């Protein structure tokens, strides 16, 4: 890490990525404040409990900081649009404005490849521009708006670098890994089409490493977005089967034609929204976005990412699957 200790604010540190980043920054000797709605559990960091939707809470947490890592977001596939707007858009606006007022010098903003995904395959491309008008669903649309807000603030005295981690997975991950395993155990994890679409992913420890390297790199390169992956595209069917097996679940056998799943997902999504079923936190079994993610190729050219960050993943997909199996055997 940077030789001079930094004064860092990490938002969203009750989540796996935010907590991992905050903990590693503490280990490296930096002064770390965390901001999230519940205790972060990060030893050595000073917790500020609250939401990024509160401008006053954000200003208090930002005081005296010189570096910002903004991880906090509403991550889901359902729920009212206003909840995503409040956290992802207004929350990002709050942290950017507070950082500028406090004289923060650098910001690493965590975004998502979904901000530039319009439903078609992505094959060996770089990070395309965030596109709120064509992004799929409330999450992707508001994350696209948030990324544009962050990049618009980039300046020589407030340097902004955006990372888009792609499909993070690993022990302790509840967003993707646990859901695949749980649904496979229940026999509700279908494979869409032949399951042959190539998909790139990112093991969680590699994601943490990449964010720490971004904190160093933002003083040299800023004002752009980088997709971050393991750089090991695998067939989506193979990945799902191997994650299920690592979790002690049977390999999924149910197959649904991709077009049928996409159409069904769109209908389910509308019903879920019409009945306001997402307000309580329940998620639909399938959405159009999920169907597209499970049936189209999406893997990325990592040359620019590795050049800027001077980074390569430490944990391969195969090693990650072994670690995942060890994790599930121990819980």
Strand ranges of the sheet holding 67-70, from the earlier edge strand across to the other edge = 46-49, 31-36, 7-11, 67-70, 106-110, 159-165, 224-228
Q: Domain ranges in the chain?
A: 7-166+202-229+300-314
In Å, how far are 153, 169, 205, 243, 323 from 316, measured between CA atoms? 35, 12, 10, 14, 10
Backbone angles phi, psi at 209, to 5 degrees: -55, -45
Strands (E), the chain: 7-11, 31-36, 46-49, 67-70, 106-110, 122-125, 159-165, 168-169, 191-192, 198-199, 202-203, 224-228, 234-235, 255-256, 298-300
User: Annotated catalytic residue: which of 84, 139, 203, 328?
Assistant: 139
Residues with Cβ within 8 Å of residue 45, at least 6 apart in sequence? 10, 13, 22, 23, 26, 32, 33, 34
List pLDDT tens digits, range 175-228: 889 988 988 898 877 777 677 889 899 999 999 999 999 999 999 999 999 999
Predicted model pTM = 0.90
The phi, psi pair for 48, rounded to 5°, reads -120, 115
Mean per-residue pLDDT of the chain: 88
Question: 107 pLDDT band (50/70/90 cuts)?
Answer: very high
Q: What pLDDT shows up at residue 263? A: 62
For residues 110 and 92, is the Cβ–Cβ distance under 8 A? no
* More confident: 2 or 88: 88
Least confident of 81-85, 143-147, 258-262: 258-262
Residue 288 has pLDDT above 80, yes or no: no
Q: What is the pLDDT of residue 176?
A: 84
- Report the CATH superfamily, name and number, of domain 7-166+202-229+300-314: NAD(P)-binding Rossmann-like Domain (3.40.50.720)
Closest CA to 297 of 167, 174, 184: 167
Report the pLDDT value the prediction gives residue 230, as an integer from 0 to 100.
Answer: 97
- Alpha-carbon torsion (194, 76, 46, 225), positive or negative: positive
203 is catalytic: no
Distance between terminal CA atoms of the chain? 33
Residues of the chain with pLDDT > 70: what percent? 85
- For 118, counting Cβ atoms within 10 Å of its Cβ (0-12 exposed, 13-18 middle, 19+ buried), the class is middle
Residue scoring higher pLDDT (297 or 301) = 301
215-to-19, 108, 137 alpha-carbon distances in Å: 15, 6, 30
Residue 123 three-state SS: strand
Between strands 106-110 and 198-199, the pairing is: unpaired
pLDDT at residue 235 greater than cutoff 80 = yes
Of 9-13, 70-74, 105-109, 133-137, which gets the smallest average pLDDT?
133-137
Give mean pLDDT, residues 69-87. 88
> Please, which residues bridge with residue 122 across strands?
298
Q: Give pLDDT, residue 7.
A: 98
- Residue 244 tokens, joined: 């299920």
Burial 292-312 (b: 16+ CB within 10 A, else e): bbbbbbbbbebeebbebbebe
Q: Angle CA(185)–CA(190)–CA(195) in degrees, nearest 5? A: 125
């Amino acid at each position: 890490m940077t030789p001079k200790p930094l004064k860092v604010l990490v938002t969203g540190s009750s989540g796996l990525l935010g907590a991992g980043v905050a903990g590693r920054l503490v280990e490296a000797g930096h002064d770390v404040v965390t901001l999230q709605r519940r205790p972060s559990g990060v030893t050595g960091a000073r917790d500020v409990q609250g939401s990024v939707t509160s401008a006053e809470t954000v200003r208090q947490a930002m005081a005296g900081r010189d570096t910002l890592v903004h991880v906090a977001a509403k991550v889901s596939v359902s729920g009212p649009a206003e909840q995503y707007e409040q956290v992802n858009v207004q929350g990002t606006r709050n942290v950017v404005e507070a950082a500028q007022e406090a004289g923060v010098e650098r910001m690493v903003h965590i975004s998502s490849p979904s901000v530039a995904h319009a439903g078609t395959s992505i094959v060996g491309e770089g990070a395309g521009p965030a596109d709120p008008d064509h992004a799929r669903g409330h999450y992707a649309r508001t994350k696209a708006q948030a990324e544009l807000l962050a990049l618009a603030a980039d300046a020589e005295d407030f340097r902004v670098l955006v990372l888009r981690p792609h499909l993070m997975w690993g022990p302790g991950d509840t967003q993707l890994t646990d859901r695949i395993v749980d649904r496979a155990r229940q026999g509700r994890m279908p494979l869409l089409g032949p399951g042959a679409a190539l998909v790139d992913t990112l093991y969680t420890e590699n994601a943490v490493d990449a964010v720490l390297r971004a904190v160093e790199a933002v003083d040299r390169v800023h004002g752009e977005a980088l997709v971050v992956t393991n750089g090991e595209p695998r067939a989506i069917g193979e990945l799902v089967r191997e994650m299920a097996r690592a979790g002690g679940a049977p390999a999924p056998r149910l197959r649904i034609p991709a077009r049928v799943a996409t159409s069904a997902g769109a209908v389910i999504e509308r019903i879920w929204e019409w009945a306001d079923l997402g307000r309580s936190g329940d998620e639909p079994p399938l959405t159009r976005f999920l169907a597209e993610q499970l049936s189209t190729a999406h893997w990325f050219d990592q040359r620019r990412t590795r050049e800027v960050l001077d980074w390569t993943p430490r944990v391969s997909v195969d090693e990650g699957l072994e670690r995942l199996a060890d994790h599930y055997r121990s819980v």
